Amino acid sequence: MAATPADASSSSSEAVVGGEKSNKMITLISSDGESFEATEEAAKMSVTIKHMIEDGCADDGIPLPNVPAKILSMVIEYCNKHAADADDTNKHVADPADADEDDDNNNNNASAGEKEDLKSFDASLVAVDQATLFDIILAANFLSIKGLLDLACQKVADDIKDKSVEEVREIFKIENDFTKEEEEAVRKENAWAFNE
Amino acid sequence: MRITAKPRRRRGFRRRPRRGGFSAQSTPSITAVSSQLSHPRPPPPFLGSRILRARVQCLPSLEVAQVVQLRYSMEDLPEPLLADIIKRITVSSDLNSLCLVSKQLCAVEAEHRGTIRVGCGVDPTTEALTSLFSRFSNLWKVEINYSGWTPSHGDQVNNQGILVLSHHCPLLSDLTLSFCAHIDDAGLSYLAYCRKLRSLELSFAPAITSTGIFRVAVSCCYLSVLHLVDCIAIESVEWLEYLGRYGSLGELVLKDCDGISQYDLLKFGPGWRKLQRFEFEINGTYWLSERPDPSYVVGYPSSYDICCDNLKDLRLAHIVTKPEIGLRFLLGKCKALETLYLEYVIGLNEDEVISLFQRCCNLKTISLRLMPLRCEDHWFRTALTDDSLEALALSCPMLQVVELTFTFCEPSYPTEIGFTQKGILTLIQSCPIRALVLNGASIFDDEGMKGLSSTQFLEKLDLVDCCSVSDAGMYLIAQAPCLSHLTLRKCSSVTDDGLAALARSQKLESLTVIGCRRISQEGVQGAAKSVCYSSETESHNSLKGMNVYRKIRQSP
């Protein structure tokens, strides 16, 4: 899914919001040299990038040698979607003219619908194979995007729930390095160590 | 939380930058970056993928790449991220499966395990416990619970076990020991190594005496929660005096410690100022064996100079507070109570209780268990009347939970209950009551249910041993706007017909029916989203919250 700069700019132009925020575009360059554009607001969802912008290192584009193109495009998609949502919430909160009760109800309904929308977007973003999921976790960690990190880690945890030992090994491609005796010892201890 | 990965078992994985991926107008800086990337360089550290055939970078098409077996393992994630994932798994069986997957996952899981409970199956030998506690070295909460132990389960954990625990788990802050017959004062003294011990709960610990508790009080200066339940060997309270003067105890629960009397609690002195939660209960025929106050002088009512301004949760159960005042002095001093449980406190003085309610305007939960006694006006009734309910209604605007239990009150003598139905309804309608329990309220009938059905906030209703509430009452309560949880125990006048009204209204989240002889299993079906039914008759003790059969063990 290689996004050309043209695609990147068109998708980011959809995400441009309100006259209050600056429309400055930030260029992000993946590890394999592709460059992507994102609004400053979306890019600032990453604390790492936010610090770089504030320190003035972002003018020529930000190289991200740890993030491949495929993952960077997913990360930018997440940031665009969540930055837009955050801004809408701020708009609802910040508008004092909306003191009317009916309007308030409409706003609440709209944001409830948006929340559902956001949830299903998040779910589809992380419905990927294990390798991509781990790449997303590492990228979110490197870029310090807490929401995306929580989302991806929770997906991995949910994949582990209710699975047997063999199934976990199969899904996550882990080799069994226990000897028979060691495994027996761990099993014995587990039998009498409850964690609640 | 920005941590770079440690590369583990990775094969080379090289990718060339896409040629022609940049626009013709690329700025000089981007070109400069791309020229760096065109040199084959070591793989970015995070990509720990194990690729069995390293020639993949020469193959442009995806179909061929699929033939290559890509093994990208979770173990290549850096440890803090693995820990983040593992912390989100909370079910024991899932964690046990995870431990067995590989050594690394086992180690990471063990490092982040915080709480553990061991019981009858644990191997009590020093070697096994050393292995267990060194595996889980970051435990902060440990429970050793031998309830249900029989000699066939083998030996129990003894003092050596506590020594091993304290040496290997330096972060231990909460320890609970239940039914541990072989842990005595020497074992407790090993807790001196647990500098961070904050909470100690001992249940049925027959070998622990006051010396053991004293040692813990002296060596663990952060101790703030202490629960002693059925510790029959504790007979003096030097530890309590010490904690009062030098400690910072915030929560103290004493149940069935026969060697500690109400008056010993006075020695807590300045410690009462910091205490936020206090419970005192003695089960059995307590009204026959209460020891007198050694400082009591006939004719001079005691007044203790003690401040308990921070006390928020108070529970006094089964104590005699006349003629000496005993722990009832707390009722005259508290100002900030939020939860109050007075269960079968003999000697309640209504004026004192009314002024308590007037001082504690933050009261949120109240539970009164009352039995009739000969009162000052020579009536045989429960100690409190509608005047107390009125004081509650006027002074406690945040009251949300009310539980009223009447025991040994004869239904055919309704004046044995000091309250009237009108008084109870006035209270319910004056305060935002969310949950109500009426137990043994034979004065409460269908008219009362009509009053309840118009309350705005009532979500949870428990009717226990209410013989005057019948099917008509059920029809009425089905109209309560917020009611979502209903419990009926030993309500002999409600039949299946009454529940049909609830089924029609389809409002209830949950319905529990226990021991109602005129309600059948079929009758409860469909009355609520989740239904719990039992036809077993409950014992009197269970219904009324007493345990009169417990034998009080007095020291010789």
Tell me the average pLDDT of chain B. Answer: 83
- The span from the CA of B109 to the CA of B97, in Å, is 11
CB-nearest to A157 from B88, B102, B113 is B88
Q: Across the interface, do A160 and B105 touch by the CB < 8 Å criterion? A: no
Cβ-contact B249, B308 below 8 angstroms = no
Q: How confident is the model at residue B287 (pLDDT cuts 50, 70, 90)?
A: low
Spatial neighbors of A2 by CB under 8 A, at least 6 apart, are A34, A69, B18, B21
Q: In whole angstroms, what separates CA B168 from the centre of its chain?
A: 27
Distance from CA of B548 to the nearest CA of A (A): 33
Tell me the average pLDDT of chain A. Answer: 77
Distance from CA of A11 to the nearest CA of B (A): 17
Best residue in B74, B86, B147 for a mutation probing chain A (most A CBs within 10 Å): B74
- The span from the CA of B36 to the CA of B197, in Å, is 56
Q: Where are the beta strands (DSSP E) in B104-146?
A: 115-118, 141-145
Mean per-residue pLDDT, A54-63: 81
Distance from CA of B220 to the nearest CA of A (A): 25
**Residue B365's closest CA among B260, B229, B244, B460?**
B460
pLDDT in tens, B405-461: 999 999 898 889 999 999 999 999 999 999 999 999 999 999 999 999 999 999 999
**Residue B384's closest CA among B421, B353, B426?**
B353
Mean per-residue pLDDT, B479-494: 93
In terms of CA atoms, which chain B residue is nearest residue A180?
B100
Q: In whole angstroms, what separates CA B429 from the centre of its chain?
A: 30
Mean per-residue pLDDT, B327-350: 92
Buried-state track B354-386, b at ≥16 Cβ within 10 A, e below 16: bebbeebeebbbbbbbbbbbebeeeeebbbbbb
pLDDT in tens, A26-50: 888 888 888 888 888 888 888 988 8
- The span from the CA of B505 to the CA of B320, in Å, is 47
Mean per-residue pLDDT, B371-376: 86
Q: Across the interface, do A34 and B5 touch by the CB < 8 Å criterion? A: no
Spatial neighbors of B120 by CB under 8 A, at least 6 apart, are B146, B148, B149, B153
pLDDT value for B221: 92
pLDDT surpassing 60 at residue B44: no
The token pair that represents B268 in the structure block: 């807590």
Q: How confident is the model at residue B297 (pLDDT cuts 50, 70, 90)?
A: low
pLDDT value for B5: 43
Q: Across the interface, do A153 and B1 touch by the CB < 8 Å criterion? A: no
**Residue B132's closest CA among B97, B99, B154, B155?**
B99
Best residue in B46, B69, B89, B169 for a mutation probing chain A (most A CBs within 10 Å): B46
**Residue B460's closest CA among B485, B438, B426?**
B485
pLDDT surpassing 70 at residue A16: no
In chain B, residues with a C-beta closer than 8 Å to the C-beta of A162 are 94
DSSP B75: G
* A&B contacts, CB < 8 Å: 165
For B314, the 3-state DSSP assignment is: strand
pLDDT value for B247: 92
pLDDT surpassing 60 at residue B210: yes
Q: How confident is the model at residue B303 (pLDDT cuts 50, 70, 90)?
A: low
Q: Which of B72-86, B399-413, B532-546 has the lowest mean pLDDT?
A: B72-86
Q: Across the interface, do A131 and B49 touch by the CB < 8 Å criterion? A: yes
**Residue B394's closest CA among B351, B436, B360?**
B360
Percent of chain B with pLDDT over 90: 53
Q: Across the interface, do A149 and B84 touch by the CB < 8 Å criterion? A: yes
Spatial neighbors of B465 by CB under 8 A, at least 6 apart, are B439, B440, B489, B490, B491, B543
Q: Across the interface, do A194 and B116 touch by the CB < 8 Å criterion? A: yes
Best residue in A151, A153, A183, A184 for a mutation probing chain B (most B CBs within 10 Å): A153
pLDDT value for B394: 95
Distance from CA of B397 to the nearest CA of A (A): 28
Cβ-contact B88, A148 below 8 angstroms = no
pLDDT surpassing 80 at residue A134: yes
Q: Across the interface, do A33 and B18 touch by the CB < 8 Å criterion? A: yes
Identify residue B367 by its one-letter amino acid code: S
Percent of chain B with pLDDT over 70: 82
Q: Across the interface, do B85 and A157 touch by the CB < 8 Å criterion? A: yes
The CA-atom distances, in angstroms, between A182 and each of B111, B124, B138 are: 18, 20, 21
Cβ-contact A85, A123 below 8 angstroms = no
Spatial neighbors of B50 by CB under 8 A, at least 6 apart, are B9, B10, B11, B70, B71, B72, B73
Edge to edge, the sheet with strand A35-39 lists A35-39, A25-29, A62-63
Identify residue B314 by its one-letter amino acid code: L
The token pair that represents B54 in the structure block: 């390293």
- The span from the CA of B252 to the CA of B44, in Å, is 57
SS3 sequence, B426-484?
HHHHHCCCCEEEEECCCCCCHHHHHHHHCCCCCCEEEEECCCCCCHHHHHHHCCCCCCC
Residue B278 host element (H or E): strand B277-281
What angle (nearest 5°) sits at the alpha carbon of residue B525, between those of residues B524 and B529? Answer: 100
pLDDT value for B102: 87
pLDDT value for B327: 87
pLDDT surpassing 90 at residue B404: yes
In terms of CA atoms, which chain B residue is nearest residue A46?
B2
Report, in this order, helix, strand and coil percent for chain B, each rounded to 5: 35, 15, 50
pLDDT in tens, A84-112: 777 766 665 555 544 444 444 445 555 77
- The span from the CA of B15 to the CA of B38, in Å, is 9
In chain B, residues with a C-beta closer than 8 Å to the C-beta of A185 are 131
Q: What does pTM read for this prediction?
A: 0.76
Best residue in A71, A156, A175, A182 for a mutation probing chain B (most B CBs within 10 Å): A156
The CA-atom distances, in angstroms, between B310 and each of B56, B251, B269, B272, B385 are: 70, 11, 14, 8, 28
pLDDT surpassing 70 at residue B286: no
Q: Across the interface, do A153 and B85 touch by the CB < 8 Å criterion? A: yes
DSSP string, B346-409: ET--HHHHHHHHHH-TT--EEEEEE--EE-TTS-EE-S--HHHHHHHHHH-TT--EEEEEE-S-
Mean per-residue pLDDT, B353-357: 95
Q: Which of A6-20, B85-99, B153-167, B220-234 has the lowest mean pLDDT?
A: A6-20
Cβ-contact B479, B503 below 8 angstroms = no
pLDDT value for B294: 62
pLDDT value for B124: 86
Distance from CA of A44 to the nearest CA of B (A): 16
pLDDT value for B295: 60
Best residue in B102, B130, B142 for a mutation probing chain A (most A CBs within 10 Å): B102
CB-nearest to A33 from B17, B73, B136 is B17
B34 or B407: whose pLDDT is higher?
B407
In chain A, residues with a C-beta closer than 8 Å to the C-beta of B135 are 189
CB-nearest to A32 from B17, B84, B92 is B17
pLDDT value for B51: 36
The token pair that represents B78 in the structure block: 């850096």
- The span from the CA of B371 to the CA of B416, in Å, is 9
pLDDT surpassing 90 at residue B175: yes
Q: Which of B74-78, B195-199, B287-291 has the lowest mean pLDDT?
A: B287-291
Q: Across the interface, do B75 and A174 touch by the CB < 8 Å criterion? A: yes
pLDDT value for B57: 40
pLDDT surpassing 50 at residue B555: no
Cβ-contact B395, B358 below 8 angstroms = yes
pLDDT surpassing 80 at residue A14: no
DSSP string, A124-191: HHT-S-HHHHHHHHHHHHHHT-HHHHHHHHHHHHHHHTT--HHHHHHHHT------HHHHHHHHHHHH
Q: Across the interface, do B101 and A174 touch by the CB < 8 Å criterion? A: yes
pLDDT surpassing 90 at residue A20: no
Q: Across the interface, do A173 and B74 touch by the CB < 8 Å criterion? A: yes
pLDDT value for B547: 81
pLDDT surpassing 80 at residue A147: yes
pLDDT in tens, B155-170: 889 999 999 999 999 9
pLDDT value for A196: 59
pLDDT value for B395: 95
